[in-house]
Amino acid sequence: GQSLEQPSEVTAVEGAIVQINCTYQTSGFYGLSWYQQHDGGAPTFLSYNALDGLEETGRFSSFLSRSDSYGYLLLQELQMKDSASYFCAVPHQAGTALIFGKGTTLSVSS
Amino acid sequence: DAGITQSPRHKVTETGTPVTLRCHQTENHRYMYWYRQDPGHGLRLIHYSYGVKDTDKGEVSDGYSVSRSKTEDFLLTLESATSSQTSVYFCAISEDRGSGNEQFFGPGTRLTVL
């Protein structure tokens, strides 16, 4: 089967940097994705890593280490609007459907 | 925004009644998915479709069935609703693996089973 572990909650202040970790167990590996979900809203895609290393998209970066079955989402210059839940996800049975972690709730305070 | 709508957006029903949720897309994407979201469980895959009349089970498919007779519509049916199926249901769509599994989600349907 597949499973993902991520912290349930993270808190930070505006302007800070926060890292949300994700460890996974899969029978094969086909990439790690990250999604953001604001309270009451739909999840939205943030990033995807298929290979080891860091992918940067503006204030957000995502890192993957396949040998460690580990990835993280790095959020820089935090803003209040970054308060949301963040989910890591891996493909279901090597297909296009996703298996999600339980999510990390990020609270940004001023 | 990807053109995905879900109907109804809210529904309250009683235990034992059948319920059908509809997901409609205007993007002509091949893949469609149903997830449920519950506190403490994140998003869990119920069923998915990789083409018209082609569907498969996900993590939590018991008590649910799906149908896809047209590219644009993916229906989720609870044959006999139970209180444990009270949840928020999200539909999602995607094109193909080349996009890194990027999925676009609908607004969700909040279902309450009394």
CB contact under 8 A, B90 and A42: yes
∠ CA A107-B40-A17, rounded to 5°: 25
**What mean pLDDT comes out for the span B23-41?**
94
**pLDDT of residue B108 exceeding 90:** yes
Structure confidence at residue B5 as a pLDDT band (50, 70, 90): very high
What pLDDT score does A96 carry? 81
By C-alpha distance, the chain A residue nearest B55 is: A97
**pLDDT of residue A7 exceeding 80:** yes
pLDDT top residue among B2 and A73: A73
Sort A43 into a burial class: Cβ within 10 Å, 0-12 / 13-18 / 19+. buried
The full 3-state SS of A36-67, as one line of letters, equals EECCCCCCEEEEEECCCEEEEECCEEEEEECC
Compute the nearest-CA separation of B41 from chain A (Å): 5
Pair type for strands A60-65 and A84-91: unpaired
Residue B102 DSSP symbol: -
For A21, A89, A90, A94, B56, the CA distances from A33, given in Å and listed in that order, are: 12, 5, 6, 14, 21
- Whether B50 and chain A come into contact, CB under 8 Å, resolves to yes
The sign one gets for the Cα dihedral B111, B55, B100, A69 is positive
Predicted confidence (pLDDT) per residue in B57-92, tens digit:
999 999 999 999 999 999 999 999 999 999 999 999
Q: Which helix (H) or strand (E) holds B75?
A: strand B73-78
Cα(B83)–Cα(B18) distance, integer angstroms: 13
Cα(B62)–Cα(A87) distance, integer angstroms: 24
**pLDDT of residue B99 exceeding 60:** no
Cα–Cα nearest to A46, from A93, A98, A107: A98
What pLDDT score does B2 carry? 66
Question: What one-letter code names the amino acid at B2?
Answer: A
What pLDDT score does A106 carry? 98
Cα(A43)–Cα(B33) distance, integer angstroms: 13
What pLDDT score does B97 carry? 59
Q: Which helix (H) or strand (E) holds A72?
A: strand A70-75
Top residue of A26, A45, A99 to mutate, by most chain B CBs within 10 Å, is A45
Residue B98 DSSP symbol: G
SS3 label, residue B43: strand
Which residues of chain A lie closer than 8 angstroms to B38, CB-CB?
none
Predicted confidence (pLDDT) per residue in A62-108, tens digit:
999 999 999 999 999 999 999 999 999 998 877 788 999 999 999 99
Instruction: Find the CB nearest B58 among A44, A89, A92.
Output: A92
Predicted confidence (pLDDT) per residue in A19-65, tens digit:
999 999 988 778 999 999 999 999 999 999 999 999 998 999 999 99
Residues 6+ apart with CB under 8 A from B108: A42, B6, B9, B37, B88, B89, B90
CB contact under 8 A, A92 and B44: no
Compute the nearest-CA separation of B82 from chain A (Å): 23
Mean predicted lDDT score pLDDT of chain B: 93
What pLDDT score does A95 carry? 77
What pLDDT score does A63 carry? 97
